[in-house]
Structure 1
């Protein structure tokens, strides 16, 4: 079994901010995560039809915002007419979709932002420009994403940034076999010169997998953990970082002795 990481070394990442309490991917949610002392915040990004980068999770704005239209087919001005806060709580009424540049300004010293690329490689040139314009140090931002080819290209374009491949391994319901084994993900990540793995939590994520990945120079992050018991188990397994909707709770319960 992998050696447990010291609690101080386990990075607590606010999933879409402090999204258990505040509307996801908004300035309110991001700032609430910082207020609760999260080590990092994760957001999702899309490129608008007029070439701006916004924080939003879904492909379309139907679930949050009420307009059944793809983010990529709307201008920034169109998107910012939507109320993306009231669905969560009336006190967040009139919350607007933020730009990546607005969120970058919130990152405190010593903290970092995980930027999940939800679209494709078309966002990369503008992403590089926004990051350069922000003046943030390279270690204050990291790139993550499910699409392997996009992450490979992101690392090529921005080699100075950490880039992590996000995935969740499916299990065959009949044979109980996993879609791929640990060696597959490690090999693919190394081939793309990526810096780590960000794994959806299920039975595939074992201490052996974490140990093997760490030995290959690939720290392992996990999403999305809201149960403290699960978090403590993962710490014992040697996890590097935990993404959670409840960063305040995790910081208090996991690091209260720090």
Structure 2
């Protein structure tokens, strides 16, 4: 009798652990990096829409301000790598940028894909989904960004502003307090001493002092459960980029990260949220 009861108890505990693990995995937000950029040309409408088709929880894009004040989705400082013109985005008008083919480099079927505007991408966001907007230029884009977000008809909860430049993030939060603003960074490690550039408390305290809403960092050994818990206890959700392996994504989900940015949202969703 005792053996049967103990066996039942073990089965019950095992079931609870499995359900808890599944709940932890499914809770993490899967964010398409520049859309579904493993398969489609990054930061294009094709890539963004493919991520939505694959049921990504969110999409991340990069933005610049063109010479004539249009906010466009593009990652690099110049259009040399994608587009073939060795000139900075900020020094080209929107019409000039529109002459560039930014799809054929990825696959012939994307030939003639053009650089989209932020407004065009905002229009694609489905209900209950959201867009992470990474500022690649500087604070000069903020007034126009505020205007376009307000005019988009999307709720503040459907967009998040992110970026590496701390001062720009601080200014963004001051200008748009209703928007979620998240600081992006990558922690460097000394190759000789193996010490990290800063302790977790440095990033947490700095973000809190600026009234920012989260931390978004590159995936490496700095990211562990203790750091994630410390940040979350301070009211700062943790997002991690760029993760394309299922094993890595599961480890991060088990650590309790809020979101994972990936080039392959479809792959991670099928592994972590098979019910979707």
- TM-score, normalization: structure 1? 0.98
Deviation string 1:127-149 (CA, Å, 9 cap, x unpaired) is: 00110111111100000000000
Unaligned runs of 5+ in 2: 1-19
Among 6, 12, 17, the alignment partner of 2:35 is 17
Among 103, 117, 122, the alignment partner of 1:99 is 117
Q: What is the 5 A alignment of 1:44-63?
A: 44-63=62-81
Q: What is the 5 A alignment of 1:22-37?
A: 22-37=40-55
When the two chains are superposed, the root-mean-square deviation of aligned CA atoms in Å is 1.0
Aligned mates of 2:145, 2:164 — CA distance in 1 = 17
Give structure 1 regions of 4+ aligned residues with deviation exceeding 3 angstroms.
none
Among 38, 57, 68, the alignment partner of 1:39 is 57
Aligned mates of 1:209, 1:117 — CA distance in 2 = 25
Match of 2:172 in 1: 154
- Report the Cα offset of residue 42 of structure 1: 0.1
3-state secondary structure, aligned to 2:47: helix
Among 218, 221, 228, the alignment partner of 2:236 is 218
Unaligned runs of 5+ in 1: none
Match of 2:204 in 1: 186
Greater Rg by CA:
2
Aligned mates of 2:272, 2:113 — CA distance in 1 = 31
Match of 1:241 in 2: 259
Give the structure, 1 or 2, with the largest relative contact order (CA under 8 Å, sep 6 or more): 1
Match of 1:123 in 2: 141
Alignment check: 8 A CA contact 2:25 2:250 kept: no
- TM-score, normalization: structure 2? 0.91
- Report the Cα offset of residue 16 of structure 1: 0.1
